[in-house]
Amino acid sequence: MTKYTVLAATGQIGQLTVQDLLDHSDADLVLFGRNASQRLSRFAGDRVSFVDGDLKDPAALKQAFTGTNAVFLAYVATPDIMVPLIKALDDAGVKRFVTMSVPDVYQEVAGPFQAWYREHTGLVWQTNYVDTVDAVENSDLDYVILRTTWLYNDASKTAVDVTKKGEPFKDAQISREAVATFASDLLTGKQDYHKESLGIGEPNTEWTKPSFY
């Protein structure tokens, strides 16, 4: 039986991803997070197990990774979390890893959105998020990094515009539902990307700022 682990499953994108996997796959799921068993009790069932833990807890991570086929980190991690997490994945023999990040780690944000994004987010390429991305890219994992633009909620907006590393990133927004669906599809193989850093946004949103600002 296939098994997927969702880290930071208690967050909005984590929960949306869990629901998508329950609805559109037959895999077993491990839901990891602080007080996950209590906070995510609505997902309890034969296919779901819980690991209550912190992302810096190697024993909890080891438990969450036992027998799993792929892992999604529904959280933008700093290097102090990511580096030991990669080691835990290696120790468990897990290769497939999907993780969230933010745009502009490569100074790739361009077009009308660039000025607003940098004003409101800062100079991302000068932060330790670059070190996080470097750690993933320099690992031997079968990774996909999702550089996710500004988030909002709209279940009717699940289409995704994908740009690869080295390409300009111009999309101003994306729904959490779209991110969750895309992450779920990466885990199940419906989306076929490997060892890629992808910018993801909503199609036709090459605007000066998100619509909700």
Assigned domain for 120 exists: yes
- Whether 142 maps to a domain, the answer reads yes
- The pLDDT value recorded for residue 112 is 97
Q: What is the CATH number of the domain that holds 100?
A: 3.40.50.720
User: What is the C-alpha to C-alpha distance for residues 202 and 88, in angstroms, rounded to an integer?
Assistant: 33
pLDDT of residue 92: 97
Tokens 């995510």 sit on residue: 40
DSSP 95-120: -EEEEEE-TTTTS-B-TTHHHHHHHH
Per-residue confidence (pLDDT) for residue 176, from 0 to 100: 98
Total count of domains within the chain:
1
- Residue 95 in domain: yes
* Confidence at residue 170, expressed as pLDDT on a 0 to 100 scale: 98
The pLDDT value recorded for residue 186 is: 98
Q: Is residue 79 part of a domain?
A: yes
Residue 212 lies in a domain: no
Domain extent for 123? 3-201
Stated pTM of the model: 0.97
Q: Look at residue 210 and tell me if it is in a domain.
A: no
Rounded distance, CA 198 to CA 101, Å?
9
pLDDT for position 103: 98
Per-residue exposure over 117-134, b if at least 16 CB sit within 10 Å of its own CB, e if not: beeeeeebeeeebbebbe
pLDDT, position 201? 98
Across the chain, which has 213 residues, the per-10-residue mean pLDDT values are 97 98 98 97 98 96 98 98 98 98 98 98 98 98 98 97 98 98 98 98 98 96
